[in-house]
């Protein structure tokens, strides 16, 4: 089965959030399960060409976009530490400029961003057509890649080399749907009449790329079982609940995994001291002393709360803000790393100024510091409003930081209350405060705490199980595609 895995990020080549981790790990696990998978990425300026062995695949591909022929150069490299090829699509006008996303916090959905990713999607299909490469399946991820199923259902519908290919669409986050000015269809060269539901969708003269991508795909999945159910409701469906209900029988939930080659305190080069299930107490203590020194926090035995997160509303930071004073009074220290909405950033900086001895707010992106925080934290906080899967809680488990999570999406599917972490239900400051009190009380009982830490460290969320589920999903998608082709030819 020849699969093209298409995403806006892919670790370690280019990563902004959890999507990048998934795109860097799942293809590797698929490859181990004998899937012939190739990753496709835009060749962003931020990707350092010196770091990767690049092979020129196609010097000049002409891609018609915005009424013009645009030159695309296609490069190939390997996903580090694997046999998975990565195709990098280079184009000065649309793909090279800026970072992965043009905004400070990811996913701004400006028209420039819409053009970047729709151009990227078209370039991939043009490349395959030009080189006569037959794809069996496209695996698309989030709105950035939604133009692929849209193009396959319209402009490339009759293209011999592409018309049998099935499409799987993975929803990582419905919070960003790629709402685009309708002009993007003209830019892509798509006739508006050829698109389903456009009248309904385009009432405000815009098109919801995510929605169209979902409609046009053969199979859809969300990144956890719970999220796959939640998104059928008004509360979590972000306006797409009806469309998703219409996908019944073709909508699945597959939990992400984490890559234990990357996230393992025993192998992690960014830690000051490496550790495992046997010496975690000592290991975490040594890391903590060193990191606290560097972050100017007072040295003591207070339980330390860690957060590595995008600073957006989704992540429940307003709840944390609400209970912050009480949390410090309960005797916690607090370290945060992340970037996001300026207002939230400023509010947390203010809290750092208020509690300089006990609070450290790091507004940046650093994988080394992220891993150090997992290593030094006693508890890892994820009070999300919604969380499609969440990778932080799984990483935290492995590093012996007990997750405190809200029972939503993947958080609910991975953390067991009192056994591997602490779970709270309602999205309120009171509920968060109560769970913090529970955690602090447990922290003072050394043996009980040890048991929870060790249960957590023993959990296994490796990708292999999920890769097998994806393989299953691919097979279903191929079958659905096959059925829809034969239904059409019967007609």
Q: Which parts of this chain interact with ligand GLC (CB under 6 A)?
A: 17-19, 22, 172-173, 223, 256, 387-391, 410
Reported as half-sphere exposure (CB side, CA atoms, 13 A), residue 324 has a value of 20
Cα-based distances in Å from 270 to 24, 79, 306, 381: 19, 21, 17, 21
- Which of residues 17 and 27 has its CB atom nearest to ligand GLC in the complex? 17
**Could you tell me how many helices (H) and strands (E) the chain has, helices first?**
18, 17
Query: What are φ and ψ of residue 338, in 5° steps?
Result: 160, 170
Q: Whole-number minimum distance, CB 318 to ligand GLC, in Å?
A: 17
**Residue closest to ligand GLC (Cβ):** 18
Q: Which of 15, 130, 132, 19 is nearest to 80 (CA)?
A: 15
Q: Whole-number minimum distance, CB 29 to ligand GLC, in Å?
A: 14
The Cα–Cα gap between 445 and 213 comes to: 51
- Which of residues 218 and 387 has its CB atom nearest to ligand GLC in the complex? 387
Q: Each residue of 306-322: b (16+ CB within 10 Å) or e?
A: bbbbbbbebbbbebbeb
CA 64 to chain centre: 30
Burial (CB count within 10 angstroms: exposed 0-12, middle 13-18, buried 19+), residue 402: buried
- Which of residues 283 and 390 has its CB atom nearest to ligand GLC in the complex? 390
The Cα–Cα gap between 351 and 323 comes to: 12
Q: Whole-number minimum distance, CB 282 to ligand GLC, in Å?
A: 31
- Which of residues 257 and 303 has its CB atom nearest to ligand GLC in the complex? 257
The Cα–Cα gap between 202 and 484 comes to: 26
Q: Whole-number minimum distance, CB 236 to ligand GLC, in Å?
A: 12
- Which of residues 314 and 366 has its CB atom nearest to ligand GLC in the complex? 314
The Cα–Cα gap between 251 and 473 comes to: 10
Q: Whole-number minimum distance, CB 159 to ligand GLC, in Å?
A: 30
- Which of residues 79 and 382 has its CB atom nearest to ligand GLC in the complex? 382
- Which of residues 230 and 387 has its CB atom nearest to ligand GLC in the complex? 387
Q: Whole-number minimum distance, CB 337 to ligand GLC, in Å?
A: 16
Check residue 448 and report its DSSP letter.
H
What is the sign, positive or negative, of the torsion defined by CA atoms of 101, 107, 109, 115? positive
Q: Whole-number minimum distance, CB 62 to ligand GLC, in Å?
A: 34
Contact 78, 134 (CB under 8 A): no
- Which of residues 306 and 388 has its CB atom nearest to ligand GLC in the complex? 388
Contact 9, 21 (CB under 8 A): no
Q: Whole-number minimum distance, CB 78 to ligand GLC, in Å?
A: 23
Contact 190, 198 (CB under 8 A): no
Is residue 419 a known part of a binding site? no
Q: Which residues are annotated as a binding site?
A: 15
Q: Which residues are annotated as a binding site for ADP-alpha-D-glucose?
A: 15
């Amino acid at each position: 089965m020849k699969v093209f895995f298409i995403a806006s990020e892919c670790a370690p080549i280019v990563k902004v959030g959890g999507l990048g981790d998934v795109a860097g790990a799942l293809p590797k696990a698929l490859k181990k399960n004998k899937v012939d998978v190739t990753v496709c990425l835009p060749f962003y300026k931020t990707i350092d060409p010196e770091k990767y062995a690049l092979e020129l695949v196609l010097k000049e591909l002409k891609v018609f976009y915005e009424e013009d022929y645009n030159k695309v150069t296609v490069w190939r490299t390997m996903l580090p530490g694997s046999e998975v090829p990565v195709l990098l699509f280079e184009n000065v006008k649309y793909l090279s400029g800026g970072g992965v996303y043009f905004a400070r916090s990811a996913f701004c959905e400006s028209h420039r961003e819409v053009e970047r990713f729709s151009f990227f999607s078209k370039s991939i299909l043009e490349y395959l057509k030009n080189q006569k490469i037959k794809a069996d399946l496209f695996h698309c991820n989030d709105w950035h890649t939604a133009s692929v199923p849209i193009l396959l259902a319209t402009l490339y519908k009759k293209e011999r080399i592409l018309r049998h290919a099935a499409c799987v669409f993975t929803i990582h986050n419905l919070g960003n749907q790629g709402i685009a000015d309708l002009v993007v269809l003209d830019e892509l060269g798509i006739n508006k009449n050829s698109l389903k539901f456009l009248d309904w969708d385009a009432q405000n003269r815009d098109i919801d790329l995510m929605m169209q991508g979902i409609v046009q795909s053969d199979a859809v999945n969300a990144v956890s079982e719970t999220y796959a159910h939640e998104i059928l409701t008004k509360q979590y469906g972000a306006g797409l609940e009806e469309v998703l209900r219409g996908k019944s029988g073709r909508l699945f939930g597959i939990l992400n995994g984490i890559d234990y080659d990357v996230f393992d305190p025993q192998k992690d080069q960014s830690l000051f001291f490496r550790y495992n299930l046997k010496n975690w107490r000592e290991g975490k203590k040594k890391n903590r002393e060193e990191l606290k020194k560097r972050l100017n926090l007072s040295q003591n035995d207070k339980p330390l709360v860690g957060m590595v997160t995008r600073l957006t509303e989704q992540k429940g930071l307003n709840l944390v803000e609400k209970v912050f004073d009480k949390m410090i009074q309960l005797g916690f220290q607090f370290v945060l790393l992340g970037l996001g909405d300026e207002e939230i950033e400023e509010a947390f900086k203010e809290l750092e100024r208020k509690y300089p001895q006990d609070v450290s707010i790091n507004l940046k992106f650093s994988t080394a510091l992220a891993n150090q925080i997992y290593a030094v934290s006693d508890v890892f906080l994820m009070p999300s409003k919604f969380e499609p899967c969440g990778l932080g809680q799984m990483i935290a488990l492995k590093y012996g930081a007990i997750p405190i999570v809200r029972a939503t999406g993947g958080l609910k599917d991975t953390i067991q209350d009192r056994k591997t972490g602490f779970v709270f239900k309602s999205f309120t400051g009171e509920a968060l405060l109560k769970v913090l009190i529970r955690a602090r009380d447990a922290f003072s009982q050394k043996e009980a705490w040890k048991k929870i830490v060790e249960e957590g460290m023993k959990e296994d969320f490796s990708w292999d199980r999920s890769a097998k589920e994806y393989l299953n999903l691919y097979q279903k998608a191929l079958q659905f595609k096959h059925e829809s082709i034969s239904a059409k030819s019967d007609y």
